């Protein structure tokens, strides 16, 4: 009489989370938008944390959720927010032959994963009791700072180098040099001498107008409209009041004042 194999909780969790992780990894690679790829990566990390929990590795569970999913991935999302999710990606190769090298690296990575999974399937399963020793944290500390201390330090050096490389690649050279206060004063004075542009500050919006809204252009003492008193952004959005209407109202009021003065002079 043969006994039916007992299905354990870790096996059920593996067969549920593993396909989801594969789907998330495929989404990470094939999604066109960077935000969707980052969310797929977060989905993979959360399922990986569940698998760590089924293997009695609580330290790795919290490290996976707090450090990787909660810190590093959120940093990716913040960078995407700063760069802009609608920024188009350039299809021009900046490095010659990078597509060929990317294909070769992808094939090599797939082969490494295939041989690693095949070797683990055909070999006898080994639990974490021997590796953990006195506990999960102690076992990890023994491996990181004992057997793999050189690899651990080399990884930290690579991460620092990658961060410096990202800073250098993301650095943008300023095309227009930043002018000091003296240079700006000289330019304003030259513009006033050559084009008659007033060197003082721009007039505030709403001055001499019917209201003091930032969308209302300022009126000059002669009743004309000062276009420099309103932000160019509001002008492009069409959120400002019609300057002709403002000038018409001001002209009517000035005409009324002049008529009163003329009547007083006649008397």
Domain boundaries, the chain: 8-84, 133-168, 202-266
- Buried-state track 70-98, b at ≥16 Cβ within 10 A, e below 16: eeebeeebeebeeeeeeeeeeeeeeeeee
**In the structure, what pLDDT confidence band is assigned to residue 23 with cuts at 50, 70 and 90?**
very high
Output the pTM of the full model.
0.43
Domain 8-84 architecture: Up-down Bundle (1.20)
Question: Lowest-pLDDT range, 60-64, 87-91, 130-134, 171-175?
Answer: 87-91
More confident residue, 197 or 41: 41
Contact 17, 51 (CB under 8 A): yes
Assign residue 135 a region (left: φ > 0; alpha: ψ between -120 and 50; beta: otherwise): left
Most confident of the ranges 49-58, 73-82, 162-171, 236-245: 49-58
Kindly indicate the confidence band of residue 1, based on its pLDDT and cuts at 50, 70 and 90.
very low
- 156-170: b (≥16 Cβ within 10 Å) or e: eeeeeeeeeeeeeee
Q: Is the pLDDT of residue 93 over 70?
A: no
Average confidence (pLDDT) over 223-243: 69
Q: CA 131: distance to chain centroid?
A: 40
């Amino acid at each position: 009489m043969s006994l039916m194999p007992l299905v354990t909780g870790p096996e059920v969790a593996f067969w549920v989370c593993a396909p989801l992780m594969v789907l998330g990894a495929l989404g990470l690679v094939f999604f066109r938008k960077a935000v969707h790829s980052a969310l797929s990566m977060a989905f993979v990390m959360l399922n990986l944390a569940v698998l760590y929990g089924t293997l009695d590795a609580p330290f790795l569970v919290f490290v996976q959720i707090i450090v990787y999913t909660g810190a590093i991935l959120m940093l990716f999302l913040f960078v995407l927010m700063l760069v802009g999710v609608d920024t188009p990606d350039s299809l021009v190769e900046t490095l010659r032959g990078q597509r060929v090298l990317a294909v070769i690296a992808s094939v090599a990575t797939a082969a490494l994963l295939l041989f690693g999974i095949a070797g683990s399937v055909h070999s006898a399963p080994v639990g974490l009791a021997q590796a953990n020793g006195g506990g999960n944290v102690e076992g990890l500390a023994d491996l990181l700072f004992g057997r793999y201390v050189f690899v651990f330090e080399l990884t930290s050096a690579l991460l620092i180098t990658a961060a410096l490389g990202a800073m250098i690649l993301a650095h943008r050279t300023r095309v227009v040099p930043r002018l000091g206060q003296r240079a700006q004063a000289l330019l304003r004075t030259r513009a006033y001498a050559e084009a008659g542009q007033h060197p003082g500050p721009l007039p505030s919006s709403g001055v001499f107008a019917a209201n003091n809204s930032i969308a209302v252009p300022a009126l000059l003492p002669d009743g004309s409209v000062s276009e420099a008193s309103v932000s160019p952004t509001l002008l492009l959005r069409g959120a400002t009041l019609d300057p002709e209407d403002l000038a018409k109202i001001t002209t009517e009021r000035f005409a009324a004042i002049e008529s009163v003065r003329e009547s007083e002079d006649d008397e």
